[in-house]
Structure 1
Amino acid sequence: MSDNDTSEFCPLETVDDFNNSTNTTNFAYGLGANIVAVLLYGSSAVPVKKIETGDGVFFYWVSCAAIWVVSMLGDLVLQSPKFYPLAMLGGAIWATGNIAVVTIIKAIGLSLGILIWGSFSLLMGWTSSRFGWFGIAVQDVPRPLLNYCGAGLCLLSGLIFFFVKTDVQLHPKKESIPLLIDRMTNSGSYRPRSSEFWIDAIGTKNRRFIGCLLAVVVGLLYGFCFVPILYIQNHSTCKGSIFYGASVYDIDYVYAQNCGIFVASTTYFTIYCAVMNSKPRIYSRAILPGFLSGLMWSLGTYCWFLANNYLNSLITYPIVTAGYGVVAALWGSLVFQEIKGFTNCSIFLLAACVGMTGTFLSAFSKF
């Protein structure tokens, strides 16, 4: 080595150091996007809590329309990635489950409803990714034991929440006359009905059972709705597949999925109008909350899919599903006073701690 060679005094960053730095940065970006998604998802049902929505179908359609509008703007920003109709199937599945959300919130409350469907969404979404169900590739993580334990604890937290009793107010704020419904008697005066919705007339125990059962079904549908996107991505490298060359970025499929949401919700709303003889229960107070709910959900989806670019779904799924359930439970217990009493609060805190522990284990299974 010559006297002028000073390379030994200028150490270069090794490949391992660079990779570690990149992994840490990606983890930070992914975790940050996940946190925003958790806050938005956990708060998306809050606008419906304090308003009267009747049977909730109109609120459901308005929120789905807002989801589609936001995704149209997102599609323009992303310069219109290639549209795959199969991704619409996932949106249609989500819309099918979402039609029961108002019923669930009326039956068992915001906190318990979201916690239950979040847990079963976790069960379906995590297992389909981990074990390669429905024709998608098996996803692995560097520390599978931590991932298994994390997902198990997240699911356990949801099961613990079954034991939390909620105090639900059926009619938070009544709107005296819903739009587009004839409630005139022969005398020309308005006659309010004894019950705005079938779930209101059911006893407390049966209402709780129906609400929990619907929450389980909705959770399974929510967990399945992302499978078509994963299927497209997993077949993007197969030359014989119609999906060859498809984008590997989840965020490129948001618009197609949300188109499926809007088409399915509009179809259901049209059927509902026909069943109601063109006299659906439409409450004006539900319009702005419906748009706000759809806005938060759509932005939360963009954040979640963005997180999947930095972390795989085995990590993001437990974090999001457990996290937004805890956020919703905090809204329900602290703001809407759904959870009362020392025993209920103790069970809630236990379940929340178990869920957060599972979330952290899932996150750190990346390393």
Structure 2
Amino acid sequence: MALEIVQGLIACAISSVFFGSMFVPLKKFDIGDGMLFFPCYSFFEYNKYFNKLLNTIFANFFILGNATAIPIISMIGMGMGILLWGVTNCICGWASSRYGLFGLNKEVPNNVILNYMGLGCVIIGIAHIRFLIFQILFSGIALSLFAGVFYGTTFVPVIYIQQHGYMVSQNGLDYVFSHFSGILVTTSFIFFAYSIFKRNRPFINNRTFLPACITGTLWSIAQLSWFFANDRISQSISFPINSMVPGVCGALWSVFYFREIRGARNMRILSCAICITLAGAILVGLSKAF
């Protein structure tokens, strides 16, 4: 049991770092509306090593959120975007597992108080960003929160199938192929529709193809780690960690590499937010063990 918890938390750490860093290769390129990047990113996510195709529809939840990622980054920056969509991602993913929403079985952690305290800390930590002094478009905030809702329901159908299906695999990695295939099909459809809407004049910057492939690789590793983490620890544990800690990682990139957040006051506020968020993630992890 202890080994499974350690493995799950390590998987969460890997997932968080890669999720928080996946847009870095693309940040300095002109990606326009992001629609060319969108299918390139997804094509590279296609994974043929897990060949049990059960259901591709559930990947649409992820796609609906991911379609907004590039506009969000263009409007409010990478660090702020990841931080904000992590809030609703965290709440939706945690609540669906903790309270058995959408027909899922309830997954009550060993220490409910620690779990609630940890969730509260990660939300309070991110709430501190409202004190940062720089212009944030309201549309960017709204779009980020919207994206988080769909990110937070990505795993719901998979877990539902595992809990209620007849003679189905309980290994989360067996569902990776259907997840990636659903992403491939849905993004292709969206890109074709976009090309028709643009009258076959989509924005194309051929310099973004390789960065998009790198981003897709980082996302694939992060998502595989999350599937693995869900097998080792419950979704009520993995979601608060994997949805909020990437925002911390993204914020660090924004501060030290892209210089999106500046000023001594803003640095103090961001440092406080990061410390509270990390403390919350630790409490959530401990709630499984104690």
Within 5 Å, which residues of 2 pair with 1:181-330?
208-235=137-164, 243-330=165-252
Q: Which residue of 1 aligns with 2:10?
A: 32
Larger Rg computed on CA atoms? 1
Q: Which residue of 2 aligns with 1:12?
A: none
Change (3 A) 1:336 1:226: same
Q: Deviations along 1:239-291, whole A, 9 cap, x unmatched?
A: xxxx2011112121111111111111111100000011111111101100111
Q: Which residue of 2 aligns with 1:64?
A: 42
1:84 is aligned to 2:54: yes
1:155 is aligned to 2:123: yes
Unaligned regions of 5+ residues in structure 2, if any?
none
DSSP-derived class of the 2:240 partner: helix
DSSP-derived class of the 1:265 partner: helix
Moved more, 268-277 or 28-37: 28-37
Amino acid at match of 1:295: T
RMSD: 1.3
Cα distance in 2, alignment partners of residues 149 and 121 from structure 1 = 18
Alignment length (residue pairs): 289
**Alpha carbons 1:112, 1:162 under 8 Å: kept:** no
Give the TM-score normalised by the residue count of structure 2.
Answer: 0.96
**Alpha carbons 1:112, 1:329 under 8 Å: kept:** yes
Cα distance in 1, alignment partners of residues 73 and 278 from structure 2 = 23
In the TM superposition, what is the alpha-carbon distance from 1:162 to its structure 2 partner? 3.1
Q: Deviations along 1:105-125, whole A, 9 cap, x unmatched?
A: 111001000000011100110
Amino acid at match of 1:102: I
Within 5 Å, which residues of 2 pair with 1:172-187?
none
Q: Deviations along 1:42-61, whole A, 9 cap, x unmatched?
A: 11111221100111110111
DSSP-derived class of the 1:281 partner: coil
Q: Which residue of 2 aligns with 1:93?
A: 61
DSSP-derived class of the 2:279 partner: helix
Displaced runs of 4 or more, over 6 A: none
Q: Deviations along 1:173-215, whole A, 9 cap, x unmatched?
A: xxxxxxxxxxxxxxxxxxxxxxxxxxxxxxx66xx11111100
Q: Which residue of 2 aligns with 1:8?
A: none
Identity, in percent, stands at 32
Q: Which residue of 1 aligns with 2:257?
A: 335
Amino acid at match of 1:221: F
**Alpha carbons 1:112, 1:164 under 8 Å: kept:** no
Cα distance in 1, alignment partners of residues 28 and 34 from structure 2 = 13
Give the TM-score normalised by the residue count of structure 1.
Answer: 0.76
